[in-house]
Each structure stands twice: as C-alpha cells, then as structure tokens.
Copies of this chain bind each other. A is one copy, B any other.
C-alpha cells in the first residue's frame, strides 16, 4: 500500500527538503504540493535539484480537499498561518505534521509573550503533540496533529535532555551558530551574499522565540522551572546548526556519569549519536558530520574550573531540524518504522 503524502507550503527550503526526502521514501508517494505563489509552475523551477526526479507542478487547489485525500499532510508555512487553516480542517480524521511554530507551545500566554501573537485556536494546543520522537514517540504515534520543533530548540533539547532528566540543569545559556538556510529562501539585504559571507553575526542575542520551547520541554522533563537564555549567531555556511549549551552548576559531575546518562537515554534511538572522542577528526558534535542527514549528534564536557557542564549539539537544520524530523514523526504516526526513508548517511566531506 502506498501512502499519499502532501505538502502545504512547498516552495520554501523546508518544503523542498520534504520533497527531497519523500521522493525516495520507500512507502510514501508525493501527492499534492501546494503553493499559492507558484501554482502551475514546475516544482523543479523552484527546487532545481529535483529536475528529472520529481515531475510535478505546484497546485493551489483547496487545502481541505488536499488534506482529505492525503494519508499525511505536511504544513511548511510561515509562522501564524497554519493556526488559521488547520482548525477548519477535519484534523481529527487526518494526520497532520506542522513544521511551523503554531502548535508547539502549550500555553497561549507563551504565544503572547514570545510571538506577540494571540493564538486563534487555543483548544488545538491541547490536542497537538510536540514532535520530538526522542521524547514522546508514543504520544506521536497516537496523534493526528504533530508540531515539529524549531531547529535550535531541537538541537539544544536533544543535547541537554539527559542532563535535564537527571536534574542537573537549573540555568543554561545556549549559544547557537546557524547556517543561512535557516532564514529561508526570500532574499533580503541581510542575506545578500556579499553581506552574509564571512560573518559571525549575533542576530538574536536574547529573546529568541525558540527559548519558549526549550523552557517548556526541559522544565517538564526535569520537573522544575529551568532558566534558559539563548544567543543566536549567523555563521558562514548554508546548512548546519550547532548549539553549545553552558549549564551553570556548582555540582561536581564526572565524565563517566555523563557517558552513562547519555548512553542510557539514547539507547535504541536511531538518530542520535553520542560524540566524544579524545582524538581524531570528530571529538565533539559538528554539523559538518551530519550534513544532509537526519542525525543529531550530541556530546558533553565538564569545566570544573568555571562550574559548567557543556552540552554540545549539532544537526542539519533542514533535516533533523525540520523536514527530516517531520518525516520521522509521520512514519511514527503512520505505523511505519521510525527510520523509513531517512537512513541515507551524512554527506562528507561537504
């Protein structure tokens, strides 16, 4: 049986990445690719990598019809749009994976605070499930509406999870470095090549919206309110995301204990790799080694002198940070093997 998969918002980089992944998914078939702006145009005119691979045009037919005739529908729309659409769909009888921010947070006040946005469908916030299978695979498998995490949140949470669960985090500073693809496909003066090349640009030193997700998830997991500060830097690459999370702690923690916590937590989780080598090419997580893949690499270090545990995360922001994680969630919702269609290794060197 072939699963019909559709995409609402197929012209952006996340939409393109979904198409790339689904085009060789062994059990899903791409049904409809919705785009208001590009309706009628060839998909490969926007995503030239897919030329001769995906012979489809964008459609702007009724979204409700698309959802009703698809087994799974991915939403990859700008923030604030899916929450205007999804409440009017037969979501209870469908399977929807939303890659935007609209259903990630549980409390409407958090949308007001972090997004300056009055949520139009608060009741759906209870129904939706946060789509990080490394935390809540079971819930995802039963859900009809899954909200895929933000890329920085996914990276920070995955690297910090074992520490949170073991009660080691009270206050953490997440210092993130991201490639340009995270800011989308629309040109602007900030993303003009001559302006963006060679930067280390701290574009969001405080108040980044993903903070809300990290607080929500880590606090829930550790059973206490965790203080989280994020600072995000644009660096000179297209793909990839790294988070160095500085956990402030007076406690003395042993590297062996950390190994145990991480190993224990991530046993059997197919897409998380623990990276901590004394020598060699890859001592700590580095997005270079996750390029184009659904792997999230996590690692840790202890700095006794300054009273820090470091949790380091690296992933491909468009794959495990967005489209790949979405497909992983979809696999789970559809009763497939979690890894289906997602096992191609990272591209190296890249």
Q: B-contacting residues of A (Cβ < 8 Å)? A: 13, 16, 20, 23-24, 45-54, 171, 173, 175, 177, 180-181, 185-203, 205-207, 211, 227-231, 233, 235-240, 242, 244, 246, 248, 273, 275, 280-293, 295, 301-303, 305-308, 310, 312, 314, 343-350
Contacts and interface: CB of A to CB of B under 8 A. Distances in A.
A233 B191 contact: no
16 contacts: A16-B348, A20-B348, A24-B344, A48-B280, A171-B306, A173-B306, A173-B308, A181-B349, A192-B193, A197-B288, A198-B240, A198-B287, A206-B301, A206-B310, A229-B303, A239-B347
Nearest to A347: B292
Centre residue among A46, A202, A233, A308 by max chain B CB count within 10 A = A202
Contacts of A248: 171, 248
- Please provide the 3 A-B residue pairs with the shortest distance between their CB atoms, ordered closest to farther: A229-B306, A206-B303, A49-B348
A290 to B, nearest CB: 8
Given A45-B280, A305-B211, A307-B227, A199 B286 contact: yes
B281 A238 contact: no
Contacts of A240: 198, 200
In the complex, the count of this chain's copies comes to: 4
Given A238-B349, A349-B239, A281 B46 contact: yes
A175 B244 CA distance: 8
Given A181-B194, A185-B194, 19 more contacts: A51-B282, A173-B246, A175-B175, A180-B197, A193-B193, A197-B238, A199-B287, A202-B244, A202-B284, A202-B286, A206-B301, A206-B306, A229-B305, A236-B237, A239-B350, A246-B246, A291-B350, A292-B347, A347-B350
